[in-house]
């Protein structure tokens, strides 16, 4: 059995200082995929908050084969695209709403040049100078939904509004205890009145541990050193699962470090075949 715990800052130092890898050279979406494939079995139920163009929605269907997959996407064009793509998948439901801390009608800023950076507030560092427009959307909360099934994994990527989504789902989190992946960086969270400690405090108050995509549990002393240092993606792991997932997290760390340092796995596979 593999149960050795490592420190998040040690892995950051290794990748950044010893290997010389810039954060932008790592495929963090692939690392996130490694995580949910390791944490959750096939047939689980999943919510994809901020489904955008459906990249992780497709991966959920391929790797987790969920019984239920709820896609949350408020941008009409993207929601319609998701409906078309998954129209023959009865396990998929597309909800064209925003999620937040309270239910209301609100405005939503659409970045037509880069739809993935659309959000309740204008993104401070857009990747494009394309046109920006405001639309009216319905905001709901996770606690409003009262889904007829238990959710085991939830991805939340909503351009800084992640904590508000979680605050609107305290009862849901307490009842279902899903594993949650979140994106959390100063460029996003400061626009919503959060600081570096907000996510961590929310997690602890709701009996969750915070892990990185390398399987490391981040404690309260290490969190200020980690947040905004090298990556934005984290896993909120129910506290009662920390000990039971030690082996899985060790395997995640091995796979994630290999993925980070071998950015072209298909090339590596062919090299191995040619050496046979």
**Confidence at residue 131, expressed as pLDDT on a 0 to 100 scale:** 79
- For 248, list phi and psi in degrees, rounded to 5: -65, -40
**Confidence at residue 121, expressed as pLDDT on a 0 to 100 scale:** 75
**Confidence at residue 128, expressed as pLDDT on a 0 to 100 scale:** 59
**Confidence at residue 166, expressed as pLDDT on a 0 to 100 scale:** 98
**Confidence at residue 215, expressed as pLDDT on a 0 to 100 scale:** 97
**Confidence at residue 276, expressed as pLDDT on a 0 to 100 scale:** 42
Q: What is the DSSP string of 106-140?
A: EEEEEETT-GGG-BSS--SS-S----EEEEEEEEE
**Confidence at residue 272, expressed as pLDDT on a 0 to 100 scale:** 47
* Residue spans of the chain under pLDDT 50: 1-3, 267-268, 270-276
CB half-sphere exposure, 69, CA atoms < 13 A: 26
pTM over 0.85: yes
Task: Enter the DSSP assignment of 15.
Answer: I
**Confidence at residue 140, expressed as pLDDT on a 0 to 100 scale:** 97
How many whole angstroms separate alpha carbon 62 and alpha carbon 56? 9
**Confidence at residue 1, expressed as pLDDT on a 0 to 100 scale:** 38
Domains contained in the chain, CATH given: 8-275 (3.40.50.150)
């Amino acid at each position: 059995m593999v149960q050795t715990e490592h420190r998040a800052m040690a892995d950051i130092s290794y990748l950044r200082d010893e290997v010389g890898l810039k954060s932008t050279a790592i495929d963090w979406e692939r690392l996130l995929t490694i995580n949910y494939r390791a944490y959750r079995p096939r047939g689980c139920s999943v919510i994809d908050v901020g489904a955008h163009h459906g990249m992780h929605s497709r991966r959920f269907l391929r790797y987790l084969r969920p019984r239920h997959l709820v896609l949350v996407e408020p941008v009409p064009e993207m929601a319609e695209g998701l409906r078309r793509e998954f129209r023959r998948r009865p396990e998929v439901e597309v909800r064209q709403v925003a999620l937040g801390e309270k239910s209301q009608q609100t405005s939503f800023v659409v970045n037509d040049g880069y739809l993935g950076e659309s959000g309740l507030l204008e993104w401070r560092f857009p990747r494009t100078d394309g046109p920006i427009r405001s639309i009216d959307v319905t905001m709901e909360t996770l606690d409003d939904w009262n889904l007829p099934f238990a959710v085991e994994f939830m991805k939340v990527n909503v351009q800084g509004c992640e904590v508000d989504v979680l605050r609107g789902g305290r009862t849901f989190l307490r009842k279902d205890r899903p594993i949650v992946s979140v994106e959390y960086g100063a460029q996003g969270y400061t626009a919503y009145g959060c600081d570096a400690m907000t996510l961590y405090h929310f997690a602890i108050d709701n009996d969750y541990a915070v892990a990185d995509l390398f399987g490391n549990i981040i404690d309260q002393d290490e969190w200020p050193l980690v947040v905004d240092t090298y990556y934005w993606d984290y896993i909120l792991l129910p506290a009662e699962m920390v000990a039971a997932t030690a082996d899985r997290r060790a395997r995640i760390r091995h796979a994630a470090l290999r993925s980070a340092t071998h950015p072209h796995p298909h090339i590596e596979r062919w090299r191995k075949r040619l050496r046979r």
